[in-house]
């Protein structure tokens, strides 16, 4: 007979004194990011005929050398699994926005390549929809001080995990700053 889990006590966990605050902050941020991404995707599907992740894939391909990336590099750029990137590319392929090619020197690898139709969709539909959704679902809900604080928190977290790449995460507020990640 299995034990009654309803009466099972939670084991003690050795954590810092501020753990309740850490947990509350983490859960709040996690839920907020999910809420914003869900709202942006809904707006982008309505207006740009794509999801947030599909737009990010188009943008990453448009800014890559030769407008192509291996599926592994695309998955990394999208912070998703290789199978997740494959599903996104499949949806974009069906629309004619992305082609799949195998480099002649490595037939085991597949590259996603932005098509002319995909570039047009990006510049005329998904990119404008992305910026409007970003403003409506994120920027308009925060003050200038909130945005500055959030930028600082994000950069501290990225730096703490050795992921703060100045080229990928530049300070866009500085005049003349390069904007490689401005769309995704």
pLDDT value, residue 177: 47
For residues 22-39, average pLDDT: 96
Position with higher pLDDT, 47 vs 165: 47
Per-residue b/e over 132-171, b at no fewer than 16 CB within 10 Å?
A: ebbeebbeeeeeeeeeeeeeeeeeeeeeeeeeeeeeebee
Burial of 47 (0-12, 13-18, 19+ CB in 10 A): middle
Residue 153 pLDDT exceeds 70 = yes
Q: What is the pLDDT of residues 86-117, one digit of tens each?
A: 999 999 999 999 999 998 888 889 999 999 99
- pTM, entire model: 0.81
Band of pLDDT at residue 126, cut at 50, 70 and 90: very high
Scanning the structure block, which residue is given the tokens 């740009």? 48
pLDDT value, residue 50: 95
pLDDT value, residue 180: 46
Contact 180, 167 (CB under 8 A): yes
Share of the chain above pLDDT 70, in %: 88
Residue 124 pLDDT exceeds 70 = yes
Contact 30, 39 (CB under 8 A): no
Band of pLDDT at residue 147, cut at 50, 70 and 90: very high
For residues 31-58, average pLDDT: 96
């Amino acid at each position: 007979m299995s034990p009654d889990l309803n009466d099972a006590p939670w084991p003690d966990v050795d954590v810092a004194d501020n753990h309740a605050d850490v947990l509350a902050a983490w859960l709040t941020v996690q839920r907020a990011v999910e809420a914003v991404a869900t709202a942006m995707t809904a707006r982008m599907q309505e207006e740009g005929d794509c999801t947030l992740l599909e737009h990010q894939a188009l943008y990453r391909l448009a800014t890559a050398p030769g407008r192509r990336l291996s599926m592994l590099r695309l998955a990394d750029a999208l912070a998703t699994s290789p199978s997740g990137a494959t599903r996104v590319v499949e949806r974009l392929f069906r629309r004619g926005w992305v082609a799949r090619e195998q480099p002649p020197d490595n037939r085991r690898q597949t590259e996603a390549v932005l098509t002319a139709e995909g570039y047009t969709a990006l510049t005329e539909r998904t990119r404008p929809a992305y910026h409007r959704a970003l403003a409506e679902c994120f920027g308009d809900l925060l003050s200038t001080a909130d945005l500055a604080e959030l930028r600082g928190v994000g950069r501290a977290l990225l730096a703490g995990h050795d992921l703060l790449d100045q080229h990928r995460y530049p300070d866009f507020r500085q005049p003349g700053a390069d904007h490689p990640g401005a769309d995704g």
